[in-house]
Copies of this chain bind each other. A is one copy, B any other.
Amino acid sequence: MTEAAVPASRVAIALLHHPVYDKNRQVVTTAVTNLDIHDIARAAKTFGMFRYYVVTPVAEQQALAERIRAHWIEGWGAAYNPRRREALALLRVVDGLEAAIADMTGSFAVAPRIVVTGARGRSGCIDAARLREHLEEETRPTLLLFGTGWGLTEEVFDGADLILEPIRGSDTYNHLSVRAAVAIYLDRLFGSR
């Protein structure tokens, strides 16, 4: 069975480090991690996506993310591992969701559709197969939001155009890492089968 891949070139990911919940459902800002930057950039590149926004309001954390990017784009890492360079070229470090939306709007001359993902089921979700159809049929750019910590706040969900169904395995356990969840959603939306 082979199904043509959906073009992902109008679709971007935003990984939000704020506003997200912590374990006790307090709204916090989580730390940027090296591996979230690398793994998600590699997945975004694999599926041919437009950009990967790392979103944090903390200046020091933005600087850390920029240093990682510079190391692999311009620094010693670029020659050591050109494949990593290609992936990290998709990275944009921004201070808030609005900046990611503004960047996409500037690039496509139209505001992106905002799609939120989360581990918890909600009413009115659509599944990845349905979103895949939307992406095949429409030219509107799309921004997929993923949360760190214990997930995106209700406010972010309220502001979204669409909510993607949680990933379900064969168990009631649904505690995938955000890196794994991104990989699975991208494969469902854009993978060749």
Residues of A within 8 A of B (CB): 1, 5-8, 23, 35, 38-39, 42-43, 45-48, 81, 83-84, 86-87, 127-129, 167-171, 173-177, 179-184, 186-188, 190-193
Report the nearest B residue to A35, measured CB to CB.
Answer: B35
Docked CA distance A191–B186 (Å)? 14
Docked CA distance A8–B39 (Å)? 25
Contact B1 A171 (CB under 8 A): no
Contact B191 A168 (CB under 8 A): yes
* B contact residues around A174 at 8 Å (CB): 46
Docked CA distance A182–B187 (Å)? 12
Report the nearest B residue to A168, measured CB to CB.
Answer: B192
Report the nearest B residue to A33, measured CB to CB.
Answer: B35
* B contact residues around A127 at 8 Å (CB): 1, 193
Contact A175 B46 (CB under 8 A): yes
* B contact residues around A167 at 8 Å (CB): 46, 187, 191
Contact B38 A5 (CB under 8 A): no
Query: A45-B175, A175-B46, A183-B183 are known contacts. Are A7 and B191 too (CB-CB below 8 A)?
Result: no
Contact B179 A179 (CB under 8 A): yes
Contact A5 B46 (CB under 8 A): no
* B contact residues around A35 at 8 Å (CB): 35
Inter-chain pairs besides A168-B191, A188-B193, 5 sampled, C-beta below 8 Å: A47-B171, A169-B187, A176-B183, A183-B184, A184-B191
Contact A129 B1 (CB under 8 A): yes
Query: A1-B129, A187-B184, A187-B187 are known contacts. Are A192 and B169 too (CB-CB below 8 A)?
Result: yes
Query: A5-B169, A5-B170, A179-B179 are known contacts. Are A187 and B188 too (CB-CB below 8 A)?
Result: yes
